Structure 1
């Protein structure tokens, strides 16, 4: 029982020491370079093998091969570039370039566009997305081709474009559609990324030490305590690995949301202040256009609904004819009816008709 308590206290002490070391990403990186046996790096796949949570890291291999320095200097390279990215120091042009290359920037675009050639624009956008090496995350198209001057087709495309090529894709949209609204947002997740990496390194160091203790233990209770903690560490490593993969995906592929509306007339987008004359001209042009569209719409409506109008015209004509016939009969009946007879009830002679 005392042995189990001592082991529990030892595990708690190890956990506390490692948590304190995780408070600084720099300390975590220094600890990870003290021994090659304690280095279990996280790679682009971020998968856990289930037998020790060993990760494969190729994140800084390109920097190491290009630098041609010693192992100690190679281990410090990512640390200095990360510190530069977080503190914003510019000690030299080389350090500034390295910091910029290691920054984790998530870019997001939203564009509200109009087009008179809906199908053509959709085809061009899909072709451009494939050409740039991106993919469509979601797509929705609703409605049908516009009737008269009213647009009824609408589409929304959420595209993921490689970050290095997203500006070219945005320019392509500008050239092929009328952009009425464009928004861009950026988010720097470098701090969150490095903190997550530091937690992963700390957990892996704790994991290796617990494995070393597990090999020395022979009592079932002590083994269960260690296995329980190792299970928690594996779960945390998987969660942090998923978070890093999420950041990597968002940084590597920018998100562009396109809201596409089919219209008969494009909305004018003025780039400079309009004068009074220009406003009057545009207003008159808009009024004439609306009048023209109104007459056209009325003519089309009249022709389209002419069969209904004819049917209702015949019905109304029949009703009018029947009504007029009944009115004539009623008037004729009243004209041929005998006049009413007035009866004298003993009144004076002056009140009787002449000759009576």
Structure 2
């Protein structure tokens, strides 16, 4: 009976030890989880900004994920972005009054508050055979004034070719804006973390990531500025040709009568231009023509004189041979008579 009582006490003691150990482990685990939750809460308060910026069910990112750029946060713009349309126009025009047209175009660009991106004029040099000039102007015109500008060009010059291109970059623009916004949010979170970090290694890591973010933000901002400029100012490329007469429009050459009239006019013009060009060429090259005429004349005279001398010499030689033969014949006849 006594042995049974002792065994019961031992069993009860073992059960008590096991129960206390289990309670202690549970308390330690609970304490660890509470500590971890407190750290996560502090991190969230320091880095998340306003509560409305992130969904409540979003997973909490670690500091390492943020530094590596692997954070799970996303930013969706709630503002409707206006369509970003880039327009480019190319025009080829003719004019009889080259200088007047150039001045008129520059004045119109200034009037519409645009600007000239580039321009050049060529022709009328000593090494250029044709005295007609040609020019090229690349103008940037406010988008709302583009149609007015092109209509004005059609009024003051003869347009022989015109093309227009349109590019919608709205999706690219919104995508870049979204990436830029995400980087700005990440940058703010990293600045908040940097203020709390104390270890040199973590500070260096955060500053390295911040430097990379700044570089990316500058690239995005530059791209957005370029898009804004191309959208707000349409590009017009003008190729300008100086001519003595303008080309007929498509309406003028539709009927048979107009085609005959145009063709006959072209023929007369080409003949006239050919005669004028020949006259100009002859007068311009007259000194060369005179020099070559003198050289050729002298060469002909010298050649004739040489030929004449050769002919006289040949004639004298033939006469000498003939006289010699006659003399020999006469001697032979005399000898025969003596015999």
TM-score by length of 1: 0.68
> Which residue number in structure 2 is paired with residue 11 of structure 1?
66
> Which residue number in structure 2 is paired with residue 124 of structure 1?
104
Query: What whole-Å deviation, never above 9, does each CA across 1:237-279 have from its counterpart, x for those lacking one?
Result: 1111111101111111111111112222322221366233332
Task: Tell me, in whole angstroms, the C-alpha distance in 2 between the residues paired with 1:265 and 1:207.
Answer: 65
Partner-residue secondary structure (3-state), 2:234: strand
> Which residue number in structure 2 is paired with residue 297 of structure 1?
277
Bigger drift between 197-206 and 333-342 goes to 333-342
**Quick check: which one's helix share is greater?**
2
Task: Tell me, in whole angstroms, the C-alpha distance in 2 between the residues paired with 1:299 and 1:147.
Answer: 20
Is 1:328 the counterpart of 2:308 in the alignment? Answer: yes
> Which residue number in structure 2 is paired with residue 29 of structure 1?
77
Is 1:109 the counterpart of 2:89 in the alignment? Answer: yes
Is 1:178 the counterpart of 2:161 in the alignment? Answer: no
Is 1:225 the counterpart of 2:205 in the alignment? Answer: yes
Unaligned runs of 5+ in 1: 23-27, 31-78, 83-101
Unaligned runs of 5+ in 2: 1-38, 40-60
Selected match of 1:133 from 94, 109, 113? 113
Is 1:163 the counterpart of 2:143 in the alignment? Answer: yes
Conserved 8 A contact 2:67-2:205: no
Partner-residue secondary structure (3-state), 1:199: helix
Is 1:153 the counterpart of 2:133 in the alignment? Answer: yes
Conserved 8 A contact 1:151-1:263: no
Partner-residue secondary structure (3-state), 2:77: helix
Query: What whole-Å deviation, never above 9, does each CA across 1:258-302 have from its counterpart, x for those lacking one?
Result: 111222232222136623333222222211111111111111211
Task: Tell me, in whole angstroms, the C-alpha distance in 1 between the residues paired with 2:250 and 2:164.
Answer: 20
Residues 328 and 252 of structure 1, relative CA distance in 2, 3 Å threshold: same
Q: CA RMSD in A?
A: 3.4
Residues 306 and 206 of structure 1, relative CA distance in 2, 3 Å threshold: same
Task: Tell me, in whole angstroms, the C-alpha distance in 1 between the residues paired with 2:261 and 2:251.
Answer: 17
Bigger drift between 266-275 and 229-238 goes to 266-275
TM-score by length of 2: 0.71
> Which residue number in structure 1 is paired with residue 251 of structure 2?
271
Task: Tell me, in whole angstroms, the C-alpha distance in 2 between the residues paired with 1:331 and 1:228.
Answer: 104
Task: Tell me, in whole angstroms, the C-alpha distance in 2 between the residues paired with 1:355 and 1:128.
Answer: 123
Q: How many residues align?
A: 275
